[in-house]
Copies of this chain bind each other. A is one copy, B any other.
Amino acid sequence: MEAITVRYVKSRPKLKEPILIEGLPGVGNVGKLAAEHLLDELKAKKFAEIYSKDFPPQVFVKPDGTVELVKNEFYYYKSKKSGTPDLLILTGDYQGLTTQGQYELSDSILDIAEEFGVKRIFTLGGYGLGRMIKEPGVLGAATDKKLVSEMKKFGIEFREDEPGGGIVGASGLLLGFGALRGMEGICLMGETSGYLVDPKSARAVLVILTKILGVEIDMDELELRAKEIDHIAQQIREMERIQKDKGTGEDLRYIG
């Protein structure tokens, strides 16, 4: 059994130099939320699934009682107006559980990207600040200086020495190894507390990404979810306040 299995669920679509957009689980789940919202709104179509021996050995059970293997998924979107690009969108349930698994996964994703003639990659993620934030900015990192200048025009911030720990996982490796294959790449990181899933941060990332791509999508769904999360965050803060008053200090802040 190979470390990675790619399974086409549709015949390979014909796309013109598509742009690859990656949004897998990570800090605040920002990348995954953004990628999923994008593909929902664009009605992108799934054409391939990726299984890995470094995902958890698990199936999910859906509400109708049927099971589904843990996986990553590739969607495509064919541009409807000239001037906007075709897209490959990658999202999924997990990143690799091991170091090796993360390398293998990125390598397989780039193999597929190369087959489709991808020349540019956007990887989406969250940038954890460890504190609540009202208006999340979007941090960037890119594969070359020209791209950094180009991206600054869209309001992406490039801050010296941030993120200090580099970019870990697919969002980093796809840029690094993509560049070695001649693809340029940009990582968009939405600021987030990192304590809760963060649709507001995902929205901030998508506002910029859609401007760059020249596509328009509705943000209502993300805004609704952002309000729900805001509400939950408020409840948690309230509970913390009460806990503090009582003098017991168990940490309630982290919620998967």
Q: Does A19 contact B (CB under 8 A)?
A: no
Residues of B within 8 A of A177 (CB): 51, 69
How many interface residues does chain A have, given as a range?
A: 35 or more
Residues of B within 8 A of A51 (CB): 177
Residues of B within 8 A of A247 (CB): none
Interface of chain A, main secondary structure: mixed
Q: Does A206 contact B (CB under 8 A)?
A: no
With beta carbons under 8 angstroms apart, the residue of B58, B68, B158, B162 that contacts A168 is B58
Determine whether the beta carbon of B67 is less than 8 Å from that of A176. Answer: yes
Cα A104 to Cα B5 with chains together (Å): 12
Determine whether the beta carbon of A67 is less than 8 Å from that of B141. Answer: yes
For A170, the closest partner residue in chain B by CB is: B57
Determine whether the beta carbon of A61 is less than 8 Å from that of B167. Answer: yes
Q: Does A248 contact B (CB under 8 A)?
A: no
User: What's the number of copies of this chain in the assembled complex?
Assistant: 4
Determine whether the beta carbon of A59 is less than 8 Å from that of B175. Answer: yes
Supposing A142-B67, A187-B67 touch, asked if A100 and B53 sit within 8 A by C-beta, the answer is yes
* A22 CB, min distance to chain B CBs, angstroms: 14
Q: Which of A33-41, A143-151, A220-228 contacts B (4 or more CB under 8 A)?
A: A143-151
Determine whether the beta carbon of B99 is less than 8 Å from that of A55. Answer: yes
Q: Does A154 contact B (CB under 8 A)?
A: no
With beta carbons under 8 angstroms apart, the residue of B7, B59, B100, B166 that contacts A61 is B166
Determine whether the beta carbon of A67 is less than 8 Å from that of B99. Answer: no
**A61-94 interface bits toward B, Cβ cutoff 8 Å, 1 = contact, 0 = none:** 1011111111000000000000000000000000
- Residues of A at under 8 Å CB distance from B? 1, 3, 7, 51, 53-61, 63-70, 96-100, 102-104, 106-107, 140-145, 148, 158, 160-163, 165-169, 172-173, 175-177, 179-180, 185, 187
List 11 additional A-B contacts (Cβ < 8 Å) besides A3-B100, A57-B173, A65-B145: A53-B103, A56-B168, A58-B165, A64-B158, A65-B142, A66-B145, A66-B148, A67-B185, A67-B187, A70-B166, A97-B99
A-B contact pairs, 16 of them (CB 8 A): A1-B107, A54-B100, A59-B166, A59-B167, A60-B166, A61-B161, A61-B163, A61-B167, A65-B140, A65-B148, A66-B141, A66-B143, A66-B145, A67-B179, A70-B166, A98-B99
